[in-house]
Structure 1
Amino acid sequence: MTDADSSNLKLGREIIIPVQCSCALTFSEAIFMYHFSSTDSFASVACGVFQGLLKAQSLKEDNPDVKRNDPGDFMIKVPIRCACTNANQRRNGFKYLVTYPVIKNDNTDLIARKFGVPEETIWDANKLGPFSTIFPQTTLFIPTKDVPVVKWDVPEDLPSSPRVATPIVKIQPSKKSKHLISYIFLGLGLLVVIILLIAAIFAFRSIRKRSHPTSFQLLSARSSVSSNVSPDFLDRMSKLKPSLTNFTLEELRNATEDFNEGSMTGKAVYKGQIGGSYVAIEQMNTEEAARHVIYILTKISHLNIVKLEGCCYGTNPYLVFEFAEYGSLRDCLSNANVARQLTWAKRTQIAFDLAVGLHYIHYCTKPSFIHHNIHSRNVLITTDCRAKITGFTLAKPVNSSEENGEISWNESVIVGRKGYLAPEYLTYGLASLKLDVFAFGVVLLELLSAKEAAADGLFLKNPVISFEDAGHECSLGYLEKLKEFMDPVLEGKYPLVDAMCLAFLAKACVEQDPHHRPTMDKL
């Protein structure tokens, strides 16, 4: 690209850069070079500049000689996720796959129109459904039959405005009142559109004033507004809290039939219907606890983190969340009929979703957060069997950094669920991000076996540790013990090697010594 070409590009203009994707077996990547300065960190480059296209751990492994705060600048290798078309895609005439970083207000319909491809092809390539939600700082593969071209004139959908909470009351309006209501909503709609347009113009001007180019030896696969602003600006933007709907207690009563026991889905959690959509309504113990969860979830936006829809303050504060149709992972595993629907492929996807969600709160938010209460009842399952992390009442910010490594601290009060608590925390009150890693390992064991984390005084991690008594990992004795441990409803329909790998991973996560456990970045 010449200087003249680059000067003609408008700020935020999307471009496509062809790369040679190295596809070896199941691993594929394209290498870019990035100008790494002394003020950069691997986390800021991975999560900020490249918007989640890779993990900080990948940068560390590919650039072992580079350390933060070293004087001078470096050119570092950046391995970017890419993919080659599979046999089925090639049979259908697809020749190219575009790695597309999702930005705010994107949806699969808009992306499909940008590339001139059927929306269904994006769903198939990314294992999505018609109603799947996509989030910023994630990537999608866009299959195309011809050399991919971005259509710049595709109108972007306006972001939906915050809902105005109204009492759900069944009223039979007269014809006159129907017309009056129509005019009122028309006027409100026009007002909202005008406000959104003004806000969009203001945001665009603000970004143009603050942005500056980022140095690349090779351009990334896409140039967007987000990739051209400083990490400080990205940090300030991440601190902006999205609007939450303030519900009235009467609305929540109507939604749950006056908090009927039949609408309860868990302890102090109700299923409700508001505006034609189902929601989960959780009663919080105190206003302080409610504000704590709001503080965290308004800083986080991720596919694998439950979305906070609104709140209701009062004597008994309530929080309103998106509803997960299948309930918790524990509910699914405890119901044999539902557990049969959780095939091996779906269980591994759930494990992956949980790992990605934990990695996000550990490494891609400012500040980082420890969840502190990971267990199978705090993992929600959607209709397309994707996992979402919930239960952030015990979560807290962690001031960890690359230069001082992972930190730990002591807690005088032990909190959490039996069977998921790491030994150093139970014995000494020593807390760190490795608590989440330990609990993640226990959930992996539940996915393998469907057993409870703690039952009849026995902990689920103990049978896995006892596998060592069966000999070498590849011995027949070990494999037989693993088969006995697996959930019988799977009926052996899983690759034994894959199950063994997941068992190894779980075993590493529940190691007695926290220093021997991997971090979520390495997972």
Structure 2
Amino acid sequence: MMMPLTRRRLLATLLCLCALPSPARSQNASATPAPASVEGFNCSANGTYPCQAYALYRAGFAGVPLDLAAVGDLFGVSRFMLAHANNLSTSAAPAAGQPLLVPLQCGCPSGSPNAYAPTQYQISSGDTFWIVSVTKLQNLTQYQAVERVNPTVVPTKLEVADMVTFPIFCQCPTAAQNATALVTYVMQQGDTYASIAAAFAVDAQSLVSLNGPERGTQLFSEGGRSGKSASGSGGVGGERFLVSDISEWLDKYRVFKVEELERGTDGFDDAHLIQGSVYKANIGGEVFAVKKMKWDACEELKILQKVNHSNLVKLEGFCINTATGDCFLVYEYVENGSLDLCLLDRARAPRLDWRTRLHIALDLAHGLQYIHEHTWPRVVHKDVKSSNVLLDARMRAKIANFGLAKTGHNAVTTHIVGTQGYIAPEYLVDGLVTTKMDVFAYGVVLLELVSGREAAGDGGELLLADAEERVFRGREDRLEARAAAWMDPVLADQNCPPGSVATVMGVARACLQRDPAKRPSMVDVAYTLSRADEYFADYSGESVSVDGSGEIAAR
């Protein structure tokens, strides 16, 4: 279930699209630009386009069903992407009025002065540009912008079933802003700088610094009803658009007592040992996983404070034993243990049917996408492997063990650590630490999911080398057959679309490119695999295309 946005830990910068009166003011091209008109946000000379962006949409208005697929169809995104963006299951039905983050691809199309995410809409009886913009799209765009991006469409002569592009207002951050994503938010009746600051745990001064002083009240409330207005210039109807810099917001973690942990583990008895230095603890009727470490290892705690995602193991609290210098991190308990043990245990492996394995791959992709794209500084896990992937009661995956994780990007180290079979060549040779080393290791985990084998055998033989020899080499039109012959025998008797398996192997091949610059981002990986999962339902044998060079043809 998605947490209310007033309690959600946001690590992105929030871009609020607000219908407020706009004072005339100069625009610094290097700052995040507020739009000079109702046609959207000005393209920034320093922005990086295209980029991942989001829009905040409230479910259950203007006849749009309370269904993720319906909301996704409205914006041209899959229900899987929508579900992952909001920590929901794909079958979840949102409540009326529930805020949903809609993932967008924001860009500055050639010849356009404004940034937007194009969404295709089929005209229904009674629709006008204004009605669709204000009601169904909840003021996330304006009819003037719709007219501009559809120059050949006559607004007064719309026909049922006409396809029209509606530009959803969005923006991409500049490098100087230290932001990873922007969220378009339409201000509601009663909203003020102070209320937004309180809701999203931001200093209200950041709103002022990016948008100028607050003046007047909003023109539009939810559903498009008129509200109060005040005098001002700029924009049709005095509208103004607000940009908010949302910094990270953290829940207060529970501080456990040493005595609680000792009682819950019977004095850290080996009978409670899960793996390594992690123990299963029963504390107050709740089950936790307790990681015992030395104080100098508590750098992990600093990383964990930055992240909150359904595909990352959740930190519940911590404990510091000042007498011994030990530090204990207390995590949620994940019932089905690590992925490597599930794959290698022939008695448990049948539970991992192909659809489950595909969902595990998606879960990992979304977790890595989050730490790579939606934290600042970016987090590189550095130890992605199947033993650090935990499976919950529903066999959904969570990334664990941030003990080697590093914040920052493009760092260089001389202290090379890692696990054989997963280490990216540029890290092994040059000590280069980037998000692309996680992408490489993720590709190895994909090979494990397909084959049911370890990344490195007892004799040191590498799974990657075997895949290169038996699957990746050869004619592209024979990839399905080679992948089917190579995959886990447990899957042989299951309903396992060969096109789906070949797609995953194609993604793995792209992730395992020796040149890190040629590897895809986790955004592209997640998109491709979500499409592959959608096609699975049809079992037509088709799959998302992966070209011969290993580049993911996702978007």
Deviations 1:113-132 (A, max 9, x none): xxxxxxxxxxxxxxxxxxxx
**C-alpha separation in 1, matches of 2:389 and 2:137:** 29
- When residues 349 and 275 of structure 1 are mapped into structure 2, their CA distance, relative to the original with a 3 A threshold, is same
Alignment pair present for 1:301 and 2:308: yes
RMSD: 4.2
**C-alpha separation in 2, matches of 1:313 and 1:261:** 21
- When residues 205 and 371 of structure 1 are mapped into structure 2, their CA distance, relative to the original with a 3 A threshold, is closer
Higher helix share: 1
One-letter amino acid matched to 2:282: Q
3-state SS of 2:502 partner: helix
What corresponds to 1:403 in structure 2? none
**C-alpha separation in 1, matches of 2:284 and 2:53:** 36
3-state SS of 1:340 partner: helix
Once the two structures are overlaid, the 10-residue window that deviates more, 294-303 or 202-211, is 202-211
One-letter amino acid matched to 1:383: A
What corresponds to 1:163 in structure 2? none
Q: CA deviation at 1:276?
A: 1.8
Alignment pair present for 1:289 and 2:297: yes
Q: CA deviation at 1:6?
A: 6.2
What corresponds to 1:312 in structure 2? 319
One-letter amino acid matched to 1:326: N
3-state SS of 2:280 partner: strand
Which among 409, 428, 434 is matched to residue 426 of structure 1?
A: 428
What corresponds to 2:33 in structure 1? none
CA contact (8 A) 1:36 1:74 kept: yes
Deviations 1:205-255 (A, max 9, x none): 9879555799xxxx99999xxxx86342x1x2x1x3321111111100111
CA contact (8 A) 1:82 1:99 kept: no
Q: CA deviation at 1:349?
A: 0.8
Identical residues among aligned pairs (%)? 33
One-letter amino acid matched to 1:289: A
What corresponds to 2:31 in structure 1? none
What corresponds to 1:352 in structure 2? 362
Q: How does 1:379-458 map to 2 (within 5 A)?
A: 379-399=389-409, 408-455=410-457, 456-458=459-461
What corresponds to 1:467 in structure 2? 470
Alignment pair present for 1:370 and 2:371: no
3-state SS of 2:476 partner: coil
CA contact (8 A) 1:43 1:363 kept: no
Q: CA deviation at 1:204?
A: 5.4
Alignment pair present for 1:329 and 2:368: no
**C-alpha separation in 1, matches of 2:313 and 2:274:** 16
**C-alpha separation in 2, matches of 1:309 and 1:479:** 43
3-state SS of 1:293 partner: helix
3-state SS of 1:254 partner: helix
3-state SS of 1:332 partner: helix
User: Which consecutive residues of structure 2, in runs of 5 or more, have no partner in the other structure?
Assistant: 1-17, 22-37, 58-84, 86-100, 123-135, 139-180, 184-188, 190-194, 212-219, 225-240, 526-555
User: When the two structures are aligned, how many residues end up with a matched partner?
Assistant: 359
Q: How does 1:69-108 map to 2 (within 5 A)?
A: 74-79=113-118
Q: CA deviation at 1:273?
A: 1.3
Q: CA deviation at 1:76?
A: 2.2
Which among 258, 274, 286 is matched to residue 267 of structure 2?
A: 258
TM-score, length of structure 1 as denominator length: 0.60
**C-alpha separation in 2, matches of 1:521 and 1:54:** 15
What corresponds to 1:483 in structure 2? 484
What corresponds to 1:38 in structure 2? 44
Q: CA deviation at 1:512?
A: 1.7
**C-alpha separation in 1, matches of 2:56 and 2:46:** 13
Q: CA deviation at 1:504?
A: 0.8
**C-alpha separation in 2, matches of 1:352 and 1:436:** 15
- When residues 288 and 518 of structure 1 are mapped into structure 2, their CA distance, relative to the original with a 3 A threshold, is same
- When residues 357 and 42 of structure 1 are mapped into structure 2, their CA distance, relative to the original with a 3 A threshold, is farther
**C-alpha separation in 2, matches of 1:43 and 1:262:** 54
Q: CA deviation at 1:498?
A: 0.5
**C-alpha separation in 2, matches of 1:311 and 1:7:** 44
One-letter amino acid matched to 1:392: F
CA contact (8 A) 2:471 2:483 kept: no
What corresponds to 1:271 in structure 2? 280
Alignment pair present for 1:506 and 2:508: yes
**C-alpha separation in 1, matches of 2:448 and 2:120:** 30
**C-alpha separation in 1, matches of 2:120 and 2:313:** 25
Once the two structures are overlaid, the 10-residue window that deviates more, 250-259 or 494-503, is 250-259
- When residues 491 and 44 of structure 1 are mapped into structure 2, their CA distance, relative to the original with a 3 A threshold, is closer
TM-score, length of structure 2 as denominator length: 0.57
- When residues 294 and 208 of structure 1 are mapped into structure 2, their CA distance, relative to the original with a 3 A threshold, is closer
Once the two structures are overlaid, the 10-residue window that deviates more, 32-41 or 328-337, is 32-41
What corresponds to 1:59 in structure 2? 106
User: Which consecutive residues of structure 1, in runs of 5 or more, have no partner in the other structure?
Assistant: 9-31, 67-72, 84-97, 101-136, 140-151, 153-199, 400-407
Which among 484, 495, 498 is matched to residue 497 of structure 2?
A: 495
One-letter amino acid matched to 2:285: G
Which among 192, 198, 203 is matched to residue 203 of structure 1?
A: 198
CA contact (8 A) 1:49 1:231 kept: no
Q: CA deviation at 1:382?
A: 0.8
3-state SS of 2:290 partner: strand
One-letter amino acid matched to 1:309: E
Q: How does 1:207-218 map to 2 (within 5 A)?
A: 211=207
